[in-house]
Chains A and B, each alone.
Chain A
Amino acid sequence: MPAVKEIQNPVVRLTELVATTTHVPVWLAALRRNALARFSQTGFPTTDDEDWRFTPVTALKALPFVIATPDFDRADAAIQHSPFASIEGPRLVFVDGQFSRELSQVTNLPDGVRVQPISEALRQDNSALQSHIERLPDRNASPFLPLNTALFSDGAHIEIPAGCELPAPVRVLFLTTSPHAGAFAALRNVIVAGANSRVTIIEQYVDASGAAYWNNVQTTLVAGEGAIVEHIRFQEEGRHAFHTGSLHLVLARDCRVKHHSFALGARLSRQDIRARLDGEGLDCVLNGLYLTDGDRLADHHMIVEHLRPHCTSHEYFNGLLDDRSRGVFHGRIHVHPGADKTDAKQTNKNILLSKDATVDTKPQLEIYADDVRCTHGATIGQIDAASVFYLRARGLGEEDARRMLLHAFAGEIVERIDYAPVREEIDSLIWERLERNPHIAATA
């Protein structure tokens, strides 16, 4: 019975979902058709793909896909208790992929600043937005990117005009409330920081459902000449949830961009980062922390492309893995011909809190330019025994000593956040997690 077989095919089941965006411009409708065809063709990645070797998506494919349906009352309560709730500033809230005007806060913005749902932006004639959506790179992209293009329901559109400095951070909050397994949301964010503008953006994923839902995200961040942008991605999905995300950074001359990726939740999370350093003298920091336990898996896969001379890129990723959880890191620095005087550095450090936890790490350098300084390194190990002894020899109990060292390990990443209220909140949040962890003292 071929018909039944086809319905069971996860790609077909997914492509039968209809994007819920009501106003789709003609160009987007065409783009979606192509993207859908493309996803139908490539389908889900398998562990035969080099880029997905350690990240099986079998459980994801088995979900009964449905379009997520929001429960706004539940969302309201969850927002009050979510991290960064006390931080003042413009706020966009999406519940199960749908914008909530009631829960959002976007008044009193300076002239020319746009903080709006992308569904609204698409109703306006915006050729710049169109090009940011259309011109995503095909090469090396996640297979879930075309799926996102085909089905995205909403997301944030943020535009900071040239020279504008926004004092308060823009917070974009994605909540999931749908109690149905397989609830699927595709989210698209486009952030454009004009020349010499300055902005901090918090992109946050919170669970209020407890279900095995799937968020598939694409964020494009375009930084103009001399722009200073801090982008904090705080992923704290539920422990049954799946999260696949791509971040594309398009960076112009002399900009300073810091991206922080905190992967604290989800049963499986995968973050693809693609950075194009396409202007001279810019500085890009990719900074990340993953904490996993149980059967969870956190995967970061990034490619940093140096296209012009005199650019600096630093990638720092630390992982703390407990139980049978898994961490995956893939980082490639690609220095193109002509990108002379590149200064690139990449580190991935992992601490295993259990003998069943595993990490697969693959740092790579590809250099086709002259006079560059590139370093990379990866470590996997336990808490340093000499440091534990030193702290104990000063009077701290073994558990306190170990916790202090783990906190410091996470702190190496946290302290790179410039925006102090977020830095402090993440720091105490991680400390609370370590306090709750029963395995700190057990793994001598």
Chain B
Amino acid sequence: MSLLEITDLHARVEDKVILRGIHLTIQPGEVHAIMGPNGSGKSTLGHILAGRDGYEITRGTVRFNGVDLLELAPEERVRSGLFLAFQYPVEIPGVNTAYFLRAAVNEIRKHRGQPELDAVQFLTFTREKMKMLGLPEDFLKRSVNEGFSGGEKKRAEIVQMAVIEPTLAVLDETDSGLDIDALRIVANGVNKLKRPDNAQLLITHYQRLLNYIVPDVVHVLHDGRIIKSGGKELALELEAKGYDWLIKPQLQTA
């Protein structure tokens, strides 16, 4: 059974149609990248998978481990293994990161039938991941994302991903706003989390991230549809030629 199976997905926000028939299948162990110019619908796809309000699905289905994903609440999606790393992680003043993250992890563990982590176990477990991503010790003591630099926020997302241990991680523009060192740290963290039974879906504008996280499949999204899929060399081709060579023939045939 496929891990994720998106069939003919159409979606809109109010009167604006954003997705016009997405087909995408991801198997365990695979890394997929979705690339595309601004406004192509990349981030919308990520939001819809995570269950954000405000999108109307007009046609199509999304099955995750065989279950109708679109029927699930956001918290049920992450509990059943689908995690979204946000492009713009939200700052939440007054909510302590350790408190929030332990509550979240334990909700997920409860759902999986695993024992909850006590404060000490949680700290040991999380500190190890923090070290891997080069986050400062006080990360857990601070309010969620408050006062973090752009790079810290992205690394914090990967720490959360590491402790939540999803079967499918959707990384929405995780590379944006990172300098080359931070990008390397983040990519290294993501690579270490890769296992034969999980998968990753990278949403990105630039090929740069794919130098560090090597995808099995690259998809090009344009105007709400996947107009081309290929191997990792497709990303290099896009880097060299831009998106125009793919988009222009589309316009002619439309």
Contact = CB atoms under 8 A, between A and B. Distances in A.
Interface of A: 384-387, 389-398, 400-401, 404-405, 407-409, 411-412, 415
A384 B53 CA distance: 13
B103 interface: yes
A411 B93 CA distance: 10
B145 to A, nearest CB: 9
A385 B53 contact: yes
B119 interface: no
22 contacts: A387-B92, A390-B89, A390-B144, A391-B92, A391-B95, A392-B73, A392-B74, A393-B50, A393-B86, A394-B78, A394-B100, A394-B101, A394-B160, A395-B105, A395-B107, A395-B164, A400-B103, A400-B107, A404-B100, A408-B92, A409-B94, A415-B94
A397 B104 CA distance: 9
Nearest to B88: A386
A433 B217 CA distance: 51
Given A408-B92, A411-B94, A393 B51 contact: yes
B75 interface: yes
Contact of B75 (A397, A404, A405, A412): A397
Given A385-B53, A400-B103, A393 B94 contact: no
Nearest to A401: B75
Interface string B80-110: 0001101001101111000011011101100
B165 to A, nearest CB: 11
B20 interface: no
A385 B90 CA distance: 11
A391 B104 contact: yes
A238 B128 CA distance: 50
Nearest to A408: B94
Contact of B100 (A386, A389, A391): A391
Residue among A384, A389, A393, A415 with the highest chain B CB neighbour number at 10 A: A393
B231 to A, nearest CB: 31
Contacts of B154: none
Contacts of A407: 94
Residue among A391, A405, A411 with the highest chain B CB neighbour number at 10 A: A391
B79 interface: yes
B59 interface: no
Contacts of B228: none
Contacts, number: 76
B131 interface: no
B103 A396 contact: yes
Given A392-B74, A393-B74, A405 B92 contact: yes
Nearest to B163: A394
Given A396-B107, A408-B92, A409-B94, 18 more contacts: A387-B90, A389-B53, A390-B86, A392-B74, A393-B78, A393-B84, A393-B86, A394-B101, A394-B160, A395-B78, A395-B104, A395-B111, A396-B75, A396-B100, A396-B104, A397-B107, A405-B92, A408-B93
Nearest 7 pairs of A and B residues by beta carbon: A408-B94, A394-B104, A392-B74, A390-B90, A395-B107, A395-B104, A395-B108
Nearest to A404: B95
B53 A412 contact: no
A405 B92 CA distance: 8
Contacts of A415: 94
B52 interface: yes
Nearest to B106: A395
Contacts of B105: 395
A384 B144 CA distance: 14
A389 B52 contact: yes
B74 to A, nearest CB: 4
Given A389-B52, A389-B53, A395 B94 contact: no
A398 B95 contact: no
Contacts of B144: 390
Residue among B86, B95, B101 with the highest chain A CB neighbour number at 10 A: B95
Interface in B137-191: 143-144, 160, 164
B48 to A, nearest CB: 12
Contact of A398 (B73, B77, B103, B104): B73
A277 to B, nearest CB: 28
A391 B93 CA distance: 13
Nearest to B109: A395
Contacts of B53: 385, 389
Contacts of B94: 407-409, 411-412, 415
A336 B74 CA distance: 54
